[in-house]
Structure 1
Amino acid sequence: MTKPLISIEALARRYPARGGGETTIFENVWLPIQKGEFVCLIGHSGCGKTTILNVLAGLDQPSGGAVIVDGREISGPSLDRAVIFQGHSLLPWMTVIGNIAFAVTSRHPEWGREKVRAHCQKYIDVVHLTGSEHKKPAELSGGMKQRVGIARALAIEPKMLLMDEPFSALDALTRGSLQDEVRRICTETEQTVFMITHDIDEAMLLADKIVLMTNGPGAKIAEIVENTLPKDRRPATMHKHANYYALRNHLLDFLVTRSKNFAAEIEGKPYDPRKPPVVRPGAKPVGVETLADDGSPRSAAIA
């Protein structure tokens, strides 16, 4: 395997506990992310998902461990890592192109006005906002604002795009279309992405790998799930693929049951936090014998 672009190594975050001592939110977290991978992190509230993202962004400091990006340990924010938050975080007095240009000139202060404008226009076109260049945020819908945020992040050409539940505040139709758009953009640009979400179907649509975190405090990576759906999956049709329900049921079972029982599950079994189990849930072939509810044999067919 090639050397990862991002390497999370022995990461831990602890906070002072009331009455003395410390509360460990997560510890000994190891995760490599290859260039061009789309990785989603799933887990219940309190397992430290946003804290991990903030450490990756350089907005928070770990209590232990390190994050290595392209061979260098991160120590603070950098234009190599762009963040898209739940809110669009646009400057309300600036236009669409002005918001994007503000980020681009921070990245390339030596560029002239025309080069900045042309570069911004490229990413405005990518997110399908052509014609809205001179509108201000108050004139845009929620989905359009979030597209501006995505264009702004992509325009600085970061090594890594960090996304903190960027679609959670949108209505279902806008969310679905924007998820599809993000997948298209990240595939076309080969963008490396780390995203946190509570939405199983969102993770199945977008991610190449889905990282499952146990419940906090003391959360850890339980396993890494490789997405077994086709690369060209679409929201409207991915449920028709044979592996859809096997993958979805595996993720759902983890969130409902295994996330809180993981410590008991691995008791007495080898578990190496540096190499969490990698699983590839898929449909069982037709003719594989399983047991019915009454214990009698039956043949399993692909759903």
Structure 2
Amino acid sequence: MTKPLISIEALARRYPKHGGGETTVFENVWLPIEKGEFVCLIGHSGCGKTTILNVLAGLDQPSGGVVIVDGREISGPSLDRAVIFQGHSLLPWMTVMGNVAFAVTSRHPHWPKDKVRAHCQKYIDVVHLTGSEHKKPAELSGGMKQRVGIARALAIEPKMLLMDEPFSALDALTRGSLQDEVRRICTETEQTVFMITHDIDEAMLLADRIVLMTNGPEAKIAEIVENTLPKDRSRADVHKHANYYALRNHLLDFLVTRSKNFAVEIAAGAYDPRRPPVVRPGERAPAQPPPPIDAPRAVSA
């Protein structure tokens, strides 16, 4: 059995409370992520979603547990893990090409300029910014800035791409367009992605698996939802698939009701944080074999 590319094991984060003691944001979080998989994490504010992402990025240290990436424990930031934040975080004095090249030369400091430029151009073309290479961030729209951030992250060819609600500040049309672009790019490049979102429809469109967190403090992974929509889905037709409403209603019901009362579910049944329940909404249960047919009985006259 092959090991997952990323393994989150017994992860916990605690902060000291004013006056003594600690507040546990989340604890005993276990999650494997396979190579090429797109995983979305959903939960209410305060459950520690961004903290988990920061631990994966090496920007924060857990209070307990470890994160293993490709067989090695995370101990700090690395170019093997690229982050796309809510804001574009571009260097304002650099052009599109310059921003992407800055990341590439950090990854490959010995590459000649021609090779760096050709490599950057490849990813600028991927995000459909061809012709904007010499523009600075002030000359770009919000959506174009986020495209530069995506190109910059992909250009270092990371083992894991971390996305912290990267489209939340964009208008609906731009957000939808970028969602389709990200799905296309990640599918074509088989990029491993861990993404935080509050948007159920975004998670349904992008993710292979959707991880549901209970409310904080002491948040846990309540269950893992496997996306039952077709792999070739797109934003324009995703709502036409047979499993769409079953999947959406399941996620909505969790966020509105079950996330608040999950402690009751834990108390009522066997909950193993190392193996959270895995569900596939809308998928039909396996067909049961028909009952045996009794032998015909003799009919008395």
What's the TM-score once normalised by structure 2's chain length?
A: 0.93
Once the two structures are TM-superposed, the CA of residue 284 in structure 1 deviates from its matched residue by 14
* 1:238-264 deviations in Å (ceiling 9; x for gaps): 101000000000000000000010001
Query: Residues 22 and 188 (structure 1 numbering): CA distance in 2 closer, same or farther, change over 3 Å?
Result: same
Aligned length: 292
Shift of 1:302: 46
Displacement after TM superposition at 1:222 (Å): 0.3
CA distance 1:281–1:138, shift in 2 (3 Å): same
Q: Distance in 1 between matches of 2:299 and 2:104?
A: 53
Task: Tell me the percent identity.
Answer: 91
Mean Cα deviation higher: 53-62 or 265-274: 265-274
Partner of 2:123: 123
Secondary structure of the 1:90 match is coil
Q: What is the deviation of 1:235?
A: 0.7
Over 3 Å counting, the alpha-carbon distance change for 1:118 and 1:302 in structure 2 is farther
How far 1:301 moved relative to its partner? 40
Q: Segments of 4+ in structure 1 off by > 6 A?
A: 300-303
Aligned to 1:11: 11
Cα 1:141/1:71, change in 2 over 3 Å? same
Look up the SS of the partner of 1:256 in the other structure.
helix
Determine if contact 1:42/1:197 at 8 Å carries over to the other structure. Answer: yes
Q: Distance in 2 between matches of 1:203 and 1:229?
A: 11
Distance in 2 separating the partners of 1:116 and 1:284: 59
* Residue 189 of structure 2 is aligned to residue 189 of structure 1: yes
Q: 1:255 to 1:108 in 2, by over 3 A?
A: same
SS of equivalent to 1:260: coil
Q: What is the CA deviation profile of residues 70-111 of structure 1, one whole-angstrom value per residue up to 9, with x for unaligned ones?
A: 000000000000000000000000000000000000000010
Q: Deviations over 1:29-68 (max 9, x none)?
A: 0000000000000000000000000000000000000000
Displacement of 1:135 in angstroms is: 0.4
Q: Shift of the alpha carbon at 1:269?
A: 1.2
Q: Return closer, same or farther for 1:44/1:227 CA change in 2, 3 Å cut-off.
A: same
After superposition, what is the alpha-carbon deviation per residue over 1:112-154, rounded to whole angstroms, capped at 9, x for unaligned? 0000000000000000000000000001000000000000000
Q: Is the contact made by 1:101 and 1:117 (CA closer than 8 Å) also made in structure 2? A: yes
| Alpha carbons 1:183, 1:206 under 8 Å: kept | yes
Structure 1 position 265, deviation (Å): 1.4
- The whole-number CA distance in structure 1 between the counterparts of 2:173 and 2:299 is 33
Distance 1:108 1:263, change over 3 A: same
Q: Contact between 1:284 and 1:302, CA under 8 Å: does it hold in 2?
A: no
Aligned partner of 1:152 in structure 2 is: 152
C-alpha RMSD of matched pairs (Å): 6.0
Report if aligned partners of 1:284, 1:301 keep a CA contact under 8 Å in 2.
Answer: no
Mean alpha-carbon deviation: is it higher for 163-172 or for 18-27? 18-27
Cα distance in 2 for residues equivalent to 1:68 and 1:301: 71
Q: Confirm or deny: 8 A CA contact 1:242 1:302 kept in the other structure.
A: no
Q: CA deviation at 1:268?
A: 3.6
Q: CA deviation at 1:186?
A: 0.3
What is the alpha-carbon distance in structure 2 between the residues aligned to residue 174 and residue 2 of structure 1? 39
For normalisation by structure 1, the TM-score amounts to 0.93
Distance apart, 1:2 and its partner CA: 2.7
Following TM superposition, by how much is the alpha carbon of 1:203 offset from its aligned partner in structure 2, in angstroms?
0.2
Give the stretch that moved more between structures: 207-216 or 230-239. Answer: 230-239
Is the Cα–Cα contact under 8 Å of residues 101 and 120 in structure 1 kept in the other structure? yes
Distance 1:42 1:173, change over 3 A: same
Larger Rg: 2
In structure 2, runs of 5+ residues without a counterpart are 290-294
